[in-house]
Copies of this chain bind each other. A is one copy, B any other.
Amino acid sequence: MIELPEEVVRLIKLAIAEDLGTGDLTSEAVLADDLKGRAVIEAREPLVCCGLNVALKVFEKLEPGIVFSSLKAEGEDAAAGDVLVELEGSMKALLAGERTALNFLQRTCGVATLSRRYSLLAAGKAVILDSRKTIPGWRWLDKMAVRTGGCSNHRMGLYDGVLIKDNHIAACGGVAEAVKKARCNAPTGIDIEVEVENLDELEEALSSGADIIMLDNFPPDKVAEAVKICKGRAKLEVSGSIGVDNIEGYLNAARVDFISVGALTHSAQAADIAMEILVDD
């Protein structure tokens, strides 16, 4: 398998270092070096399994040859009580990695589970996108979990997408001028997206040749109007305070290409996951 990106490996090192520091005082004090153990990681509530390779990396950093067997695939559903992983290795490594591995999994599974809920709600009527409202240090993991749950990714960061907002437009002196500059300077292969606040701006954005237009805080009826105006000349993205309570209204009002939901990563709950350890006799 291709390595996790360098930034995730750096986060994992940081996470181990912040917990383990100069060593596990308790285990060093009371356990023998050669004590072996077995463990299982279990779901304590229904969830979408995600991030097991991160948990694996945590334990491998602590004990290179540890035995780590995934019983669930990425994206697979787990019921409460289902075992996700079986582990076998030194007792010290199991105890040293337990909390860090669980802290990773409870968020990756939590984001994937919430994303699954949205992707089922959308049911193919629109592509649900995430945002850049991720936990600092977690951008790649949060976005991986969104994909695992069945939603799609907006740009990873400022570097791989163009999104022209009100401040950019004000500084350029208009939508048309901003889109033109962006087209000229951005790498080929990257779409030009513009955020619009009303239908007049939408018209201007369409004339300027923008690839994607973000309808910012439009109510469902205005979105429907926008779709009619657009006539497929650009892709449309609906954005702004959309959640499980109001997404149906948008899905029913009109067919847009994308609905972006900051809540996917901004408001995901930690999944309930635990680890049980057995000392070998």
| Residues in A lying within 8 Å of B, measured CB to CB | 1-3, 5-7, 10-33, 35, 37, 61-63, 90-93, 95-96, 99-100, 102-104, 106-107, 127, 129, 132-140, 147, 152-165, 167-168, 170-172, 178, 181-182, 184-191, 193, 211-212, 235, 237, 257-258, 266-267, 269-270, 277, 279
Closest Cβ of chain B to A111, distance in Å, is 12
* Most chain B CB neighbours (cut-off 10 Å) among A18, A127, A267: A18
Q: A20-B159, A164-B30 are in contact. Are A96 and B37 (CB under 8 A)?
A: no
Inter-chain contact A279/B30, CB cutoff 8 Å: no
For A1, the chain B residues whose CB sits under 8 A away are 33, 90
For A158, the chain B residues whose CB sits under 8 A away are 19-21, 23-27, 96
* Most chain B CB neighbours (cut-off 10 Å) among A20, A159, A162: A159
For A3, the chain B residues whose CB sits under 8 A away are 61-62
5 example contacts (A-B, Cβ-Cβ < 8 A) are as follows: A11-B136, A19-B132, A107-B135, A155-B187, A188-B237
Which residue from chain B places its CB closest to the CB of A92 in the assembled complex?
A: B2
Once the chains are docked, how many angstroms separate the CA of A68 from the CA of B52? Answer: 29
For A165, the chain B residues whose CB sits under 8 A away are 26
Once the chains are docked, how many angstroms separate the CA of A5 from the CA of B18? Answer: 11
Which residue from chain B places its CB closest to the CB of A10 in the assembled complex?
A: B14
Once the chains are docked, how many angstroms separate the CA of A30 from the CA of B176? Answer: 11
Once the chains are docked, how many angstroms separate the CA of A21 from the CA of B4? Answer: 10
Given contacts A25-B158, A103-B133, 17 further A-B contacts (CB under 8 A): A10-B10, A19-B157, A22-B159, A25-B162, A26-B164, A26-B168, A26-B186, A30-B182, A32-B171, A96-B158, A135-B135, A155-B187, A160-B187, A188-B212, A188-B237, A190-B191, A266-B270
Q: A171-B91, A171-B279 are in contact. Are A13 and B21 (CB under 8 A)?
A: no
